[in-house]
A and B are shown apart, each in its own frame.
Chain A
Amino acid sequence: MTATFDTQLLEINLGPQHPSTHGVFRMQAILDGETIVKLKPVMGYLHRNHEQLGEGMTYIASFPFTDRLDYFCAMTNNLALALAIEQLAGGIDVPERAQYIRVIMSELTRLVNHTVLVGFLLNDMGAFGTPLLYAFREREKILDLFEAASGSRMMCNYVRPGGVREDLPEGFLEQTQKIVNEYPRFLDEFEALLTDNEIILQRTQRVGVLPKELAINASVTGPMLRASGADYDIRKVDGYGIYPRFSFKVPLGTAGDVYDRYFVRILEMRESLKILQQALREIPSGPSISPKGLQLVTSPRTFRPPKGAEAYGRIEAPKGELGFYLVSDGSPQPYRYHVRAPSFINLTVLEDLCLGHKVADVIIILGSIDIVMGEVDR
């Protein structure tokens, strides 16, 4: 007997108000049974007009708004804009100490971002609470450092063209050293909890495979690209700041599935700790901002880059290549202000990753892309 069923495709909406979409993001999925046959991401619910706002105010006044792009990584967002402004001005020299402070802050940000991401990813997989709260406990310690240095836990607004806004407070380096020394123990524990767990292996391996060619063609960057096996890290390729001085490796994945994306991030955290150890050992004393930079901080309207000047400052943010493109028209405000947001561009391959997988897999694939809607919609 042959049974034939009349089947029809079912369209469902995941989001915009959905706990696992990491913000207000909507996925219009068309299902055949439980398998995804088409998936359309709908963005724009958190659009806050960031680029247009940036064109209406001075270069410095955009800094507090960049904190709110990717609100886990305020320090790296500040740094990317600062680099773009330094280029636009034709080079503002940055004192040695400020360079080291920037590296320390960037790598601490990377630790925060990857730790929390892994926590959220596990939360999406159904391990409710526990890994996420362990991650938040460690994140809290680093946020205390950010608060000590910049005055705010998340909206740091700390890095400025020509250095950093204020020098580090007393006892900061000792405190950082202590956290950096203790972090590997936490990572080991986190890995004991997760890496060999059979349920996680079953859920993540061979799910959401991103082939290397597609990753490169879709201009995916960051840990997601490296999990697919492409060796591209802007800290190595571009060598901005003083990164060429540090010895660290770029971890690469092989399969490009969700598990690799998770594991590459764990390895990256270990490399970040290596960079932090070196930076904390070598940080010199001295000024934390150059005179030109200080002038920009105290009187932003005196900064008028030459007409027609343009600059693109890019860094390896925890989520990928974060770039700020600025065009000047000779006034104190930029003529064009554009953000190349890594979350947004990494999200464009979502449909390719999800096709043929089950609905439950879509949630963890989205989680492994590591998006923050503040940055996607801007």
Chain B
Amino acid sequence: MIGIGVLKGMWVTLRQFIGTYPAGRWLLKRAGLPEGDGLCTIEYPEVKQQHAERHRVFPFLVYDATPDNLRCVACKICEQECPPQCIHIVGPAKDEQGRPLKTHGRTYPLRFDIDVSICMSCRICVDVCPFDAIEMDNAHEISSGGRFQELNYTKEQLLKSADYFQKIKPTEAAVVDQRLAAKAKKSAPPSSS
């Protein structure tokens, strides 16, 4: 009979509609019908969704202990490999004679800018960094009022502690720490023991 298909479809939507209310779910359960998923949205500003650990937004620079002890040595590999070319590095910092300045035994960048209006969060900078100096953040409520300087993140804005990295991505941080520890052991002078 014509119209049965339409009624069948309407029954599906009706059941879904009833299933979004607690009382309706109870009714459906009593009738022995599938309850469905119920309400699948969240009340956004009040309730926030838990993101996966690997959730990636924009990169940040990692420092150990104090902000002047950053892991980045201004080797510019990420600048070269970045597909949309959004990283701009000036450095490494040099003194008047042209010798590289060092903090904690490492060269460091004078400027390190990421234009987040261009960055597409692809994670390639993290993959290519030999020093594990750059990592992906997961903060995503970062809108700003301006279009120009506000979206160009400077070194000071990008610097975040290794503890922060540990907090947002425990699994990945554990792997990175292990790798860094192995590297430090290898490069440490053997006479120290």
Using a CB-CB cutoff of 8 Å, which residues 112-139 of chain A contact chain B?
130, 134, 137
| Residue in B closest to A300 when the chains form the complex, CB atoms | B81
Say whether A137 contacts B40, CB under 8 Å.
yes
| Residue in B closest to A153 when the chains form the complex, CB atoms | B55
Say whether A152 contacts B40, CB under 8 Å.
no
Say whether A198 contacts B2, CB under 8 Å.
yes
Say whether B52 contacts A151, CB under 8 Å.
yes
On chain A, the residues within 8 Å of B16 by CB distance are 134
Counting contact residues on chain B (CB < 8 A from A), the size range is 35 or more
**Known A137-B40, A155-B121, A298-B128; contact A61-B83, beta-carbon cutoff 8 A:** yes
Q: Is B120 an interface residue (CB 8 A)?
A: yes
Say whether A193 contacts B13, CB under 8 Å.
yes
Using a CB-CB cutoff of 8 Å, which residues 42-94 of chain A contact chain B?
57-58, 60-65
Count of A interface residues, CB-CB < 8 Å: 41
A163 to chain B, nearest CB (A): 13
A161 to chain B, nearest CB (A): 13
Q: Is A157 an interface residue (CB 8 A)?
A: yes
Of A62, A134, A140, A169, which one neighbours B52 at CB under 8 angstroms?
A: A169
Interface residues as binary, A138-181 with B (CB distance below 8 Å gives 1, 0 otherwise): 00100010011111100101000000011001000000000000
Say whether B120 contacts A147, CB under 8 Å.
no
On chain B, the residues within 8 Å of A165 by CB distance are 123, 127
Q: Is B4 an interface residue (CB 8 A)?
A: yes
Distance, CA A144 to CA B4, complexed state (A): 36
Say whether B40 contacts A140, CB under 8 Å.
yes
**Known A63-B122, A196-B4; contact A137-B9, beta-carbon cutoff 8 A:** no
On chain B, the residues within 8 Å of A64 by CB distance are 83, 120, 122, 124
Using a CB-CB cutoff of 8 Å, which residues 39-59 of chain B contact chain A?
40, 51-56
| Residue in B closest to A199 when the chains form the complex, CB atoms | B6
On chain A, the residues within 8 Å of B37 by CB distance are 137
Enumerate the 8 nearest inter-chain pairs by beta-carbon distance, A residue then B residue, closest first.
A64-B122, A196-B5, A151-B54, A151-B56, A148-B52, A61-B83, A197-B5, A193-B9
Residues of A within 8 A of B (CB): 57-58, 60-65, 130, 134, 137, 140, 144, 147-152, 155, 157, 165-166, 169, 185, 189, 192-201, 297-301
Residues of B within 8 A of A (CB): 2-6, 8-9, 11-13, 16, 34, 36-37, 40, 51-56, 80-83, 120-124, 127-128, 130, 136, 171
With contacts A60-B124, A157-B124 known, what are 10 further pairs, Cβ within 8 A?
Answer: A58-B81, A130-B13, A147-B52, A151-B54, A151-B55, A155-B120, A155-B122, A192-B12, A197-B6, A200-B5
Instruction: Enumerate 24 A-B pairs (CB-CB under 8 Å) in ascending A order.
Output: A57-B83, A60-B124, A64-B124, A137-B40, A147-B51, A148-B52, A148-B53, A151-B55, A151-B123, A151-B136, A152-B121, A157-B123, A157-B124, A165-B123, A189-B12, A189-B36, A192-B9, A192-B11, A194-B9, A198-B2, A198-B3, A198-B5, A300-B81, A301-B81
